[in-house]
Amino acid sequence: KHIIAIVPAAGIGSRMGAEIPKQYLQLNEQSILGHTLDCLLSHPSIEKVIVALNPEDEFFTSLPQAKHPKLQAVVGGKERADSVLSALMLAGEDSWVLVHDAARPCLAHLDIDKLIASADTFSQGAILAAPVRDTMKRSNAQGLITETVCRENLWHALTPQFFPAHSLRQNLSDALAAGAVITDEASAMEWAGIAPGIVTGRADNIKVTHPDDLQLASLFLNSAAQ
Ligand code: CTP
Ligand code: MG
């Protein structure tokens, strides 16, 4: 299998509310995106890493990884799915892609291995996910609980998400053209009637979204380094 990583990194991090896009914030010894790229670039099964950047990006070329021979950069789009689609244009027809958020710097090689190995079972593709731990509630617009949602078979969708490049490209572009709301790769496959597999991933593979996630990510990275 030819395996290519795609890293959507074109967002502006509005929920983080920092001066700069969150993927360029310092986390321990380097940037968030630097950690993410190091993990993917150092994985022996990954042939190439395609990173999708904001057209106004001012920071990428200063990263120590920017000139890595396995790395390629493309201009991303308005939504995350547009960024992924523009990177997919550079993925070979017969390759498989691991799509991984720039904002998830705590990814472990063992989780990548597990996901790649799952393709023996899930020929349609699969995603990393973590089981929901808390009791789940649905509320109404007034903030009152209307329902307890059964936790069984409920998951947090993580990344990487692993799919054949040609089928993801087709389904993602069709779903976007149809106006579907697509927040991850699996939802584009689901839109096309395909049921992706679930591979249990580590709960520390968090997405840095709000300021308090930085401390947590820092802690996870330090404990992984020991
Ligand atoms: N992303 C992207 N292209 C976009 C929007 C998001 O490549 N048009 C990327 C982000 O850079 C991030 C990943 O998709 O690595 C997950 O998105 P999210 O956590 O929502 O990041 P942002 O969109 O930057 O943050 P926010 O939604 O708070 O603005
Ligand atoms: Mg976003």
- Whether the CB-CB separation of 105 and 221 falls below 8 Å is answered with yes
Distance 11 CA to ligand 2 centre (A): 6
What token pair was written down for 73?
Answer: 């950069």
Distance 226 CA to ligand 2 centre (A): 32
Q: How many structural domains compose the chain?
A: 1
127 Cβ below 6 A of ligand 1: no
218 three-class SS: helix
Half-sphere exposure of 66 toward its Cβ, with a 13 Å CA cutoff? 11
53 Cβ below 6 A of ligand 1: no
CATH code of residue 158: 3.90.550.10
N residues, the chain: 226
ipTM of the complex model? 0.99
Pocket test for ligand 1, best of 80, 83, 207, 212 (most atoms within 8 A of CB): 80
pLDDT greater than 90 at residue 66 = yes
Domain hosting 160: range is: 3-224
**Per the confidence metrics, is the pTM higher than 0.80?**
yes
Model confidence pLDDT, tens digit, residues 153-195: 999 999 999 999 999 999 999 999 999 999 999 999 999 999 9
Does an H or E element contain 55, and which?
none
